[in-house]
Amino acid sequence: METTIAQIYHKSEEEEKKLILREYRALLRSLKERLKKGDRPRIRRAFEIAAESHKDMRRKSGEPYILHPIAVARIAVEEIGLGVTSAICALLHDVVEDTEVTLEDIESEFGANYSKIIDGLTKISNVVDLKSTTTEQAENFRKILLTLAHDPRVILIKLADRLHNMRTLDSMKREKQLKIASETTYIYAPLAHRLGLYEIKSELEDLSLKYTQPDVYEEISQGLKETKRERTRYINEFSKPIKEALKTESFKFEIYGRPKSIHSIWNKIKTKHVSFEEVYDIFAIRIILDTPQEKEKEDCWRVYSIVTNFYRPSPDRLRDWISVPKGNGYEALHTTVMGPSGRWVEVQIRSKRMNEIAEKGVAAHWKYKEGREKNAAESKLDSWLQHLRDMLNNPDTDTIDFLQDIKLDLFTEEIYIYTPKGDMRVLPQGATALDFAFDIHSELGAKCIGAKVNYRLVPISHELKTGDQVEIITSSKQKPSEDWLNFVITGKAKSRIKYYLKEEKRIVAQDGKEILHRKLNNMHVPASQHNLNEIVAYFKKQSPLDVYYGIAVGSLDIKELRAFTVHGDKLQQPVKEVALETKLLISEKEEQKNIPSKDTELIIFGESSDKILYKLAQCCQPIPGDDVFGFITSGEGLKIHRTDCPNAAQLLANYGHRVVKTKWAKNKEISFLTGVRIIGLDDVGVIQKITNVISADLKVNMRSISIDSHDGVFDGTIMVYVRDKAELDKLCAKLEALDGINKVIRLQVSDK
């Protein structure tokens, strides 16, 4: 569709109208089975309002803007499974923000339910504004989660909006692509994952990779194309005996193989340090059963038995999400079996209902729960949404820490823990006894002094495993302490501990507040906002609370206020300090002058390099030839990071306003320190062969070499000085070609 739009947008107005009408009719066709009396005129009215509101607007690619809301509505209906209300809201999702149409207009035209959803969409439409501060960005993310907790349709439409933006990101500038793609990886893909939208989560991750690391994306994409025929042949060979057995047993079924997502293959290449050819589980076999809901569990296990009659399963790779569904409602049986030619193959067994839930997540639950009691999967989903509401009710969730905490709940694997009475709780992998206590109740967590896990006494920091039965031990004298934050991992536990610590601080600070107010009274000035701000700035604290606390515990000396001057009822800091502060502000402004604006491109080692101070980030150690971006830090000036840096997604998503376009200019006179990791057979003379290639063949300067040998295999690290990425790639290729060398990998800082 995108190709057609791109070809047509610059043509006649008549052709554009035909294209818009064609897309609108496609939306109506996708809603056909859901339409009730009165729905069609409402959809038509929403389309007319959107078309009129956006008539003079165009997207960056040049096509009429109205095609975007129609596409978002189609994704919401066809790929997420939402209905008429959501389609109308998707058509109107940009009109309040971009035009003169108000929420009151929408409410009078369609009703309060519609205006509430569109209000939610409008509030989160600019999730990370380029001018936002970090706190504002975190607050915006928090708004997303608030809308999710109260009406999941808002975030589902927002995910459809983000997916269409990612599919049409080609026309954006490079730095905008990086920011949007990183933001997608950072928050939207985890949200899609948590809501059970696995297809959308995978596509969002793949598209993000396409823009953050285009070479990697293209290489894996090409690899999948080239192996498609061989993959199809293998899937047919693997499936043949299973199909025959299922037909004999009179099952109604579909069986097919599908490749893993490009992003998941890349993750495996990265974590396992293997090549594309060495990733064995590039595809999974899926068996979908057409069976009544009351027979689903029994039939899935019968199919599992048939599969394992032909192929030997790996006992530690069985995942039973039918008996114990995931927290987002996902149900299926997963097993990994040894297939023909000695290849491990993942097999997923689901019913049609389970498959729809796997593809359409929350929306599918609403469809299936009408008119009957909730099943275990739906109850768990509802309890997670309630858990999210509890977290968001904490008044101290307006910093970037909150986002980091909640991400753990969104994206980690789950474990299943039991209470003494046998009730099951779902926690992220790595959760501790204290996380479990806070999951049961905030007060239980705050008073926790230990736990019994499977009747054995353990400390509160004990890490839990699936199947553990946990009893919490409490004491009325216990209070949360700061070191608890070092071992809890759930967002709920972290946010409640921070809340309790702040409450403790407030109680102590009360004494300091009284002392300060008495002092100000003696100086005949009020405790006004202006005066408090002056004192906060003087002591270099974040807030009045920090000042009160510092005075209470004696770390701040109240006598220093003598140096302040009084003008009427206003305090003024000492002149010397003011001058120093002014000087700092001036120097900061001067420094900003030397940093290029977002629309210019910084060329490292080019003509502007003598005017701009910058550092190469230690977390990823970029070298010429790497795809990089500049990042303005608060204390160390400009830093250059690789786009595949471990910290890139967070920096680009949360601090987009500090990113500067950056590219390398050729400068063969400068060398850069980087490292390679070499794994191979510990044979006689192997070190000499390696050093010969580095020093003699390629004339590369070597700073250090460290080799560790164990049971005939060595694992070594070599630090070398290279001029650019091309020279490093050549070095890696030469080393890998040596006999006995198994793998040569560019060193990440975390590997050292």
Report the catalytic residues.
Answer: 97-98
**Nearest residue to 620 via CA among 569, 540, 675, 567:** 675
- Rounded to whole angstroms, how far apart are CA atoms 647 and 540? 28
Rounded to whole angstroms, the maximal C-alpha distance in the chain is 95
- Rounded to whole angstroms, how far apart are CA atoms 661 and 597? 9
**Nearest residue to 194 via CA among 148, 151, 263:** 148
Enumerate long-range contacts of 225-231, CB under 8 Å, 24 or more apart: 227/282, 231/257, 231/259, 231/282, 231/283
- Rounded to whole angstroms, how far apart are CA atoms 10 and 57? 14
- Rounded to whole angstroms, how far apart are CA atoms 357 and 87? 20
Which H helix or E strand runs over 434? helix 433-440
Which H helix or E strand runs over 639? strand 638-642
- Rounded to whole angstroms, how far apart are CA atoms 118 and 106? 9
- Rounded to whole angstroms, how far apart are CA atoms 261 and 646? 20
Give the bridge partners for 660, in sequence order.
Answer: 630
E strands of 505-579, at which residues? 565-567, 570-572
What are the Cα distances from residue 479, in Å, to 403, 607, 655?
A: 25, 59, 35
**Nearest residue to 539 via CA among 577, 565, 585:** 577
For residue 430, how many C-alpha atoms fall within 13 Å in the half-sphere facing its CB?
A: 11
Which H helix or E strand runs over 663? strand 659-664
Helix axes 152-167, 67-74, angle to 10 degrees: 120
What are the Cα distances from residue 28, in Å, to 39, 78, 436, 669?
A: 10, 11, 48, 63
What are the Cα distances from residue 537, in Å, to 187, 226, 398, 741?
A: 34, 63, 22, 59
Cα-Cα end-to-end distance for the chain: 47
Cβ distance 419 to 426 under 8 Å? no
- The phi and psi torsions of 61 (rounded to 5 degrees) equal -75, -15
Cβ distance 675 to 747 under 8 Å? yes
- The phi and psi torsions of 709 (rounded to 5 degrees) equal -115, 140
How would you class 248 by CB atoms within 10 Å of its CB: exposed for 0-12, middle for 13-18, buried for 19 or more? exposed
- Rounded to whole angstroms, how far apart are CA atoms 622 and 618? 8
461 CB-near residues (< 8 Å, 6+ apart): 432, 433, 434, 487
- Rounded to whole angstroms, how far apart are CA atoms 414 and 465? 10
